[in-house]
Amino acid sequence: MTAPTVSPGAARQGSADLLRSVFRRHAAGVAVITAAGPERPVGFTATSLSSVAADPPLLSFSVGTGSSSWPVLSGAEHVGVHVLGEDQGELAGLFARSGADRFGPGTSWRPGPEGVPVLDGVLAWLVCRVVAKVPAAEHRLVLAEVVAGSPEGPAGSSGRPLLYHGGRFNALRD
Amino acid sequence: MTAPTVSPGAARQGSADLLRSVFRRHAAGVAVITAAGPERPVGFTATSLSSVAADPPLLSFSVGTGSSSWPVLSGAEHVGVHVLGEDQGELAGLFARSGADRFGPGTSWRPGPEGVPVLDGVLAWLVCRVVAKVPAAEHRLVLAEVVAGSPEGPAGSSGRPLLYHGGRFNALRD
């Protein structure tokens, strides 16, 4: 413990506003989560994707129960997880925009393992089996086990990820 | 669904190696998680920090039960969560290195709200109450509610976050 440089008096009480202000400083990689629906696929942009454990291979992400994907996702046994490249800000915006036609003619995808929709042109993708949906207020923390996938991006891709920070998309410096 | 650009035959079976290969493509912001211990504080570098819900304000991170911080963290009611700046790669390395003296003379910190160790010089920090520890293989997914904090980095800071990608620290391009 050394000399203080920030007064503890600067602390604010916990609130939604404090959480948002702090996470505006934080950066995240950008993923798209998909699931097969009875009529058509669903999907959404997530900045909460995280690796959790290696054996078995587990990852997590969170989803709002008010999101348009939730009615399908809540019953899905398998999900698709896609790591977006730095040139895929448009795709990330599409899968984040309310009311957008996310699987329309502009989106290139195919049915992958377990019938899960797999997006073309991403840096890497996984198909995962949902193993837990942990309630967290109006959200669910989804824990899923990797069953298949590919870490190979498209030929000619820079291999560099899309980032999200301070309300907009960004990329790596180096 | 449009013309395929990647053959579905490229898919590999789920494994720890596949998970690692895919997450080497993914980028993450870098945080340090701390907790007060009976003798001295504990802390570790996390690339799994994520905002989960706003009301109540909830976040999540994961921790290995084999980590040196776990014996203290497993019993902690409150934790500190710190968003690191792009110039704090050294601090991130210290809190990731096995056997390092993480709260030695080189680390500037103070006891914050609820007695939680708060690091100086970070972009933003929160003190959170642990509300769940979800088992996930040899890891725990920790869900915590924000009780206090500050989104104000030190004067003169760029305000830009430290990133982790492909096994090394990095920064934002713009």
- Rounded to whole angstroms, the Cα distance separating A90 from B118 reads 38
Of B25, B110, B171, the CB nearest to A83: B25
DSSP string of A4-42, one letter each residue: -SS-GGG-EE--HHHHHHHHHH-EEE-EEEEE--SSS-E
pLDDT at A29 exceeding the cut of 60: yes
Of B52, B56, B154, the CB nearest to A141: B52
Query: Is residue B31 classed as helix, strand or coil in its secondary structure?
Result: strand
- The residues facing B118 across adjacent strands are B110
N- to C-terminal Cα separation, chain B: 34
What are A138's two structure tokens?
């109006």
Amino acid at A88: Q
- pLDDT of B7 reads 52
pLDDT at A59 exceeding the cut of 80: yes
How does residue A158 score in pLDDT terms, banded at 50, 70 and 90?
confident
Query: What pTM value is reported for the model?
Result: 0.94
CB contact under 8 A, A60 and B62: yes
Question: Chain B contacts of A136, Cβ < 8 Å?
Answer: 52-53, 58, 60, 132, 143
- pLDDT of A8 reads 46
- pLDDT of A77 reads 98
What are A20's two structure tokens?
């948002």
Q: What percent of chain B has pLDDT over 90?
A: 89
Range with the lowest mean pLDDT among A170-174, B3-7, B74-78? B3-7
Domains of chain B: 15-152+159-166 (2.30.110.10)
Count Cβ atoms within 10 A of the Cβ of residue B5 and give its class: 0-12 exposed, 13-18 middle, 19 or more buried. Answer: exposed
Q: Which of A88, A131, A104, A103 is nearest to A44 (CA)?
A: A103
- Region A83-112: mean pLDDT is 96
Question: Chain A contacts of B11, Cβ < 8 Å?
Answer: 112-113, 127, 148-150
- Rounded to whole angstroms, the Cα distance separating A51 from A14 reads 27
- pLDDT of A157 reads 80
CB contact under 8 A, B60 and A152: no
Length of chain A: 174
- pLDDT of B77 reads 98
- Region A98-106: mean pLDDT is 94
**CB-based burial, B90-128: b 16+ in 10 Å, e otherwise:** ebbebbbeeeeebbeeebbbbebbbebbbbbbbbbbbbb
Give the residue with greater pLDDT, B5 vs B112. Answer: B112
Complex ipTM value? 0.94
CB contact under 8 A, A108 and B5: yes
- pLDDT of A140 reads 98
The tens digit of pLDDT for each residue in B23-52 reads 999 999 999 999 999 999 999 999 999 999
